[in-house]
Amino acid sequence: MVIIIQCRDRVGLVAAITSVLAKAELNIVSMREHVDLEEKMFFARIVVDGIQSQQNIEMAITEVLPAGAIVKVNPLPEKKIVVLVTKEYHCLSDILTRNYFKTLGAKVLCVIGNHPDLRNITEQFSIPFHFVSHENKSKEDFENDLTNIILQYEPDYLILAKFMRILSPEFIMTFRLRIINIHHSFLPAFIGASPYMQAFKRGVKIIGATAHFVTDDLDEGPIITQTIIPVNHSFTLTDLIKAGRENETAALAKAMQLVFEDKVFVFNHKTVVFE
């Protein structure tokens, strides 16, 4: 059983929580906690062993915490996701392969593309593919078409696997803190279009990838994970892009693992990540 807690900090929280668990005869297998001293917030992820009613444990823990506490007991072990794509295949192919071998930690319900290019690879894995064109229609109509399909599947998260469209605040609010994006640079550097060209012209010595939750601020949502790889003067632009794609795939895979295992907490514009 996994217990997730987020609340205002105060003295004695850990003692109060562990007392509840002991009274319920639940053995603590692991416990990770963090206090944000500036914001006075407490975060904890606890794994326990034993048989007990999830609802009863959630109520008992909530009673010993400050008002407004968020307590989740045993979130679904396998999340449900919808993947949004455009034309680049590298992140999608990794997701589909992990999903096929059941190492993703989630189930891919469908893939939606604003171009039909990735239909073939998706259907080879027996996953439904929906083509929703953004051409010759308003942004509102395009996003309404997306939303209508997504809501049919009732996913826990949306994964933007190189989905090259800027989403509206209204769409983002519909799936608030449930949209994960992979950005092809070490944010906040090289925001926007052609980041590898920007990096190449600057002669950078490292290139990065950032996986983050999507918010109204373009490419500035709470960061889940970032990865970097070294490069040097011998790298051509093509070399940078190839290395960058491998880096993007790794960063997105790591971010999904952390989120699907309920190891990521979001507060304000930051995350607490129990790796």
Q: Of 151, 131, 143, whose CA–CA distance to 86 is shortest?
A: 131
Neighbours of 193 (CB within 10 A): 8
User: pTM score, two decimals?
Assistant: 0.92
Distances (CA, A) of 115 to 23, 235, 241: 56, 31, 21
Mean pLDDT of the region 140-163: 97
Tens of pLDDT, residues 40-52: 999 999 999 988 8
Rounded to the nearest 5°, which phi and psi values hold at 229? -135, 145
Domains of the chain: 2-73 (3.30.70.260), 79-273 (3.40.50.170)
Active site residues: 219
Residue 103 or residue 198, greater confidence: 103
DSSP of 202-226, one letter per residue?
HT-SEEEEEEEE--SSTT-SPEEEE
What are 199-230's pLDDT values in tens digits? Answer: 788 888 888 899 999 998 777 799 999 998 89
What is the percentage of the chain residues whose pLDDT exceeds 90? 76
- Predicted confidence (pLDDT) at residue 187 exceeds the cutoff of 90: no
Residue 77 clears pLDDT 80, i.e. is over it: no
Q: Quickly state the pLDDT bin for 191 (edges 50, 70, 90).
A: low
In the prediction, which pLDDT does 266 show? 95
